[in-house]
């Protein structure tokens, strides 16, 4: 790679944090170069084509309720949506637990679902409304504890916690003890109440690809690993690049290696198995939650939400476990969740993601510093929350900090 004139900004990492920073800085007229170690943009949010199916790297969804969804051209993503809620199985029977505001047909089933007493169900609904519509400053002022303690404090009983909240949130938080910060879970629940979860027609990779197009293909240098960072310069295997502003937008572990001031939170892992069924067993796109004592955290016919994930009418099933599993160990559980025979499931592939996202234990450090001084900046999900929203929000903050430094007001 040539070593051109100094750039205004070098961004290390073309994940959603780095690309969010780079789009803003490019839009502001700065000369920005992004160095990405991998052969694709999007970082952890990526997909591949396999036998005509679109396979995301692990079960991932985009939530339109994220505030930073405003930075994307959502119509261009052609999102296909899941219904809000989930299917829980109790004693072998499937129950739909859906958002009554969106699925009037599911109201009766949801009211009758085995989620505890009427009072406990009302407590669950009241929690959802408070998180969904209460002012954010009030949510952030509420005493912080673990998610489980907060649910119990809110009067939500064991049945709703163990059958619905624990497996539903475990699929998002990648932990099933509900030790995650109640503050983060409040914010997360808010985005579920306010938005819908969907999949882009071309796979989750389309999100990063859209942002990268705005930066410019000639500005994003793939397969270019940055080995070291110093104020004013970065070093790749091809030599040094100088830039007065350097934004480290890598995953937490790489950020901690490049910048001694950064500490990497313990990562959460997930393993996802992909299967093909001759057709979907379900009338509507809904996630099926795992059951207590099982290994599955959730399983979903992703092609019900986004038909373009399948090349034909066959159904693509994505099933995840928090502990590493072999496909054969969970095939029967996946089949039972969908009410089909294990022999109906054709195994497509499996993917283990050991460093899927950082933990968000209390106390939540929502807006960790992004300006480290000396022209060094850091962003990534480890600076805000372990999510697409957190990555993009941290990228936006880093871009604002760079702009404030290169174009000081007055
Ligand atoms: C399986 C899975 C499912 C998920 N599901 C969801 C979900 O449904 N909803 C949600 O909101 N979030 C989800 N997340 C979390 C979300 O994907 C991440 O929080 C977010 O994408 C992190 O983005 P980032 O830009 O901070 O980091 P990354 O995506 O990790 O990007 C960092 C980039 O830096 C590059 N890099 C690292 N070191 C170097 C180097 N030395 N030189 C150059 N480049 C380097 C990496 O290759 C990578 O491309 C999921 C994550 C996983 C793994």
Q: Which helix (H) or strand (E) holds 136?
A: helix 136-141
Q: Say yes or no: 372 and 258 in one domain.
A: yes
Q: Say yes or no: 73 and 23 in one domain.
A: no
Q: What is the pLDDT of residue 366?
A: 84
Q: Mean pLDDT, 10 residues at a time, over the chain (410 residues)?
A: 76 98 98 98 98 98 95 98 93 86 68 87 92 92 95 95 94 94 94 94 98 97 97 93 97 96 89 98 96 94 98 97 97 97 98 93 90 97 95 98 84
Ligand 1 binding pocket mutation candidate from 68, 227, 251 (most atoms within 8 A of CB)? 251
Q: What is the DSSP string of 197-255?
A: EEE-TT-THHHHHHHHHHH-GGGEETT--EEEEETTEEEETTEEEE-SEEEE-S-HHHH
31 CA to middle of ligand 1, Å? 24
103 CA to middle of ligand 1, Å? 33
Residue 90 lies in a domain: no
Residue 241 lies in a domain: yes
Place of tokens 């499931």: 345
Cβ atoms within 10 A of the Cβ of 346, count?
Answer: 13
Cβ atoms within 10 A of the Cβ of 212, count?
Answer: 23
Q: What is the pLDDT of residue 106?
A: 64
15 CA to middle of ligand 1, Å? 6
Q: What is the pLDDT of residue 268?
A: 95
Nearest CA to ligand 1 atom 31: 15
Residue 104 lies in a domain: no
Q: Say yes or no: 181 and 59 in one domain.
A: no
For residue 229, list its beta bridge partners.
Answer: 234
Ligand 1 binding pocket mutation candidate from 69, 357, 370 (most atoms within 8 A of CB)? 357
Nearest to 179 by CA among 405, 390, 364: 364
Nearest CA to ligand 1 atom 30: 251
Atom of ligand 1 nearest to the CA of 13: 34
User: Which of residues 165, 195, 225 is at a domain's end?
Assistant: 195
Q: What is the pLDDT of residue 381?
A: 96
62 CB-near residues (< 8 Å, 6+ apart): 69, 77, 79, 197, 198, 199, 200, 204, 207, 388
SS3 content of the chain, % helix, strand, coil (to 5): 35, 25, 35
Q: Is 398 helix (H, G, I), strand (E, B) or coil?
A: helix
Give the Å distances, CA to CA, from 228 to 89, 255, 258. Answer: 50, 10, 6
Q: Say yes or no: 262 and 366 in one domain.
A: yes
Taking each continuous run of H as one helix and of E as one strand, the counts in the chain are 14, 21
Task: In whole angstroms, give the CA distance from residue 362 to residue 382.
Answer: 14
Residue 259 lies in a domain: yes
Residue 143 lies in a domain: yes
Nearest CA to ligand 1 atom 13: 387
Q: Say yes or no: 262 and 371 in one domain.
A: yes
Ligand 1 binding pocket mutation candidate from 40, 44, 211 (most atoms within 8 A of CB)? 44
Q: What is the pLDDT of residue 3?
A: 55
391 CA to middle of ligand 1, Å? 8
Q: What is the pLDDT of residue 105?
A: 65
Q: What is the pLDDT of residue 19?
A: 98
Residue 95 lies in a domain: no
CATH number of domain containing 307: 3.90.660.20
For residue 358, list its beta bridge partners.
Answer: 267
Q: Count how many domains the chain has.
A: 3
Q: Say yes or no: 249 and 373 in one domain.
A: yes
Ligand 1 binding pocket mutation candidate from 10, 60, 211, 226 (most atoms within 8 A of CB)? 60
- CA angle 384/388/394 to nearest 5° reads 35
386 CA to middle of ligand 1, Å? 9
221 CA to middle of ligand 1, Å? 17
Nearest to 164 by CA among 287, 58, 304: 287
Atom of ligand 1 nearest to the CA of 254: 38
Q: Say yes or no: 272 and 261 in one domain.
A: no
Is the whole model's pTM more than 0.85, yes or no?
Answer: yes
Nearest CA to ligand 1 atom 51: 356
Residue 321 domain boundaries: 47-81+198-202+267-358
Q: Say yes or no: 211 and 243 in one domain.
A: yes
Ligand 1 binding pocket mutation candidate from 1, 11, 13, 351 (most atoms within 8 A of CB)? 13
Residue 110 lies in a domain: no
Q: Say yes or no: 373 and 337 in one domain.
A: no
Q: Say yes or no: 261 and 389 in one domain.
A: yes
For 178, what's the count of Cα atoms within 13 Å in the CB-facing half-sphere?
20
Q: Say yes or no: 232 and 373 in one domain.
A: yes
Q: What is the pLDDT of residue 1?
A: 56
87 CA to middle of ligand 1, Å? 28
User: Which of residues 195, 228, 247 is at a domain's end?
Assistant: 195
Task: In whole angstroms, give the CA distance from residue 398 to residue 300.
Answer: 35
User: Which of residues 170, 195, 220 is at a domain's end?
Assistant: 195
Query: Where would I find the beta strands (DSSP E) of 278-345?
Result: 287-289, 296-301, 315-321
Residue 96 lies in a domain: no
Nearest to 375 by CA among 248, 249, 258, 250: 248
296 CA to middle of ligand 1, Å? 23
Q: 3-state secondary structure string, 62-105? A: EECCCHHHHHCCHHHHCCEECCCEEEEEECCEEEEEECCCCCHH
Which residues contact ligand 1 via a Cβ below 6 A?
12-18, 35-38, 43-45, 57-58, 60-61, 225-226, 249-251, 254, 270, 353, 356-357, 380-381, 386-391
Q: What is the pLDDT of residue 365?
A: 83
Residue 270 and residue 387 in contact, taking contact as beta carbons nearer than 8 Å: no
Q: Say yes or no: 238 and 309 in one domain.
A: no
- CA angle 123/176/395 to nearest 5° reads 95
Nearest CA to ligand 1 atom 5: 60
């Amino acid at each position: 790679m040539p070593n051109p004139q100094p750039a205004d900004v070098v961004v290390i990492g073309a994940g959603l944090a780095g690309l969010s920073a780079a789009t803003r800085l490019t839009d502001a007229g700065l000369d920005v170069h992004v160095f990405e170690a991998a052969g694709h943009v999007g970082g952890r949010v990526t997909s591949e084509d396999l036998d005509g199916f679109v396979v995301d790297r692990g079960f991932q969804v985009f939530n339109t309720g994220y505030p930073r969804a405003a930075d994307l051209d959502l119509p261009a993503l052609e999102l296909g949506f899941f219904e809000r809620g989930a299917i829980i199985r109790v004693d072998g029977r499937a129950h739909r637990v859906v958002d009554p505001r969106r699925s009037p047909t599911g109201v009766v089933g949801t009211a009758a679902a085995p989620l505890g007493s009427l009072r406990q169900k009302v407590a669950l609904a009241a929690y959802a409304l408070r998180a969904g519509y209460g002012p954010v400053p009030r949510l952030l002022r509420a005493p912080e504890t673990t998610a489980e303690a907060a649910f119990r404090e809110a009067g939500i009983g064991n049945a709703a916690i163990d059958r619905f909240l624990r497996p539903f949130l475990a699929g998002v938080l990648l932990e099933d003890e509900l030790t995650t910060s109640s503050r983060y879970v409040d914010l997360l629940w808010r985005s579920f109440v306010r938005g819908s979860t969907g999949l882009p027609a071309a796979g989750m990779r389309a999100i990063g690809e859209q942002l990268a197009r705005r930066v410019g293909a000639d500005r994003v240098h793939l397969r270019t690993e940055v080995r070291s960072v110093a104020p004013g310069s970065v070093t790749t295997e091809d030599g040094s690049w100088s830039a007065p502003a350097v934004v480290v937008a890598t995953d937490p572990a790489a950020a901690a290696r490049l910048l001694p001031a950064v500490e990497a939170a313990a990562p959460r892992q997930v393993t996802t198995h992909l299967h093909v069924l001759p057709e979907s067993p379900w009338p509507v796109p809904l996630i099926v939650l795992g059951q207590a004592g099982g290994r599955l955290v959730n399983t979903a016919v992703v092609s019900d939400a986004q038909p373009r994930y399948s090349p034909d009418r066959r159904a693509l099933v994505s099933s995840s476990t928090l502990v590493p599993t072999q496909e054969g160990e969970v095939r029967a559980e996946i089949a039972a969740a969908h009410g089909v025979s294990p022999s109906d499931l054709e195994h497509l592939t499996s993917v283990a993601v050991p460093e899927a996202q950082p933990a968000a234990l209390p106390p939540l450090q929502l807006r960790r510093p992004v300006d480290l001084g000396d022209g060094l900046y850091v962003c990534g999900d480890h600076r805000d929350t372990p999510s697409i929203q957190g990555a993009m929000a941290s990228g936006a903050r880093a871009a604002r900090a760079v702009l404030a430094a290169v174009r000081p007001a007055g």
